[in-house]
Amino acid sequence: MSALISKIKVSSTLDRSTGKANLIDGSPETCWTSQQGLPQFVQLSFHATTSPHTLSITFQGGFVATECHLQVPDKTGVWITVQHLYPEDVNRAQEFELDSTKLHEISVLKIVMVASSDFFGRITIYNVQLR
């Protein structure tokens, strides 16, 4: 079951051709690219609450977020980190099992990228999927 994403927010975008809509358009030829500097984030909001089990991200090698913090808001709206991910610096889809006890019935998920394989802190993502 794929989570239905209703809204995407990002920390920055390099230019119009690399916008946030490219994160979920399903095309292997389009991508989102951040401006330089860390941290960067991708925030996904859902049509209804969801309990995702797997996160799949396809980065561009050389522009990979090598450390990611998954965050959800607590009852007061403060973002809390519930899981850490450490993607490899590769050009293929990477799948991560999610902690279902901490990502149960969520309506929004923020992927905070705190480290990058790019010297300038740029991140390029071709696809993001939650299942």
Instruction: Express each pLDDT in 58-100 by its tens digit.
Output: 999 999 999 999 999 999 999 999 999 999 999 999 999 999 9
Q: What is the mean pLDDT of residues 41-64?
A: 97
For residues 129 and 95, what is the distance between their CA atoms, to the nearest angstrom? 9
Contact 57, 125 (CB under 8 A): yes
Which of 1 and 89 is assigned the larger pLDDT? 89
Confidence label for 3 from pLDDT (cuts 50, 70 and 90): low
Residues in CB range of 8: below 8 A, 6 or more apart: 20, 21, 23, 24, 42, 43, 44, 45
What would the two tokens of residue 42 be?
Answer: 């991708």
Domains contained in the chain, CATH given: 5-130 (2.60.120.260)
Run of H or E including 65: strand 65-73
The pTM of the full predicted model, rounded to 2 decimals, is: 0.96
On the question of pLDDT at 1 being above 80, the answer is no
pLDDT digits (tens, 9 = 90+) for 98-114: 999 999 999 999 999 99
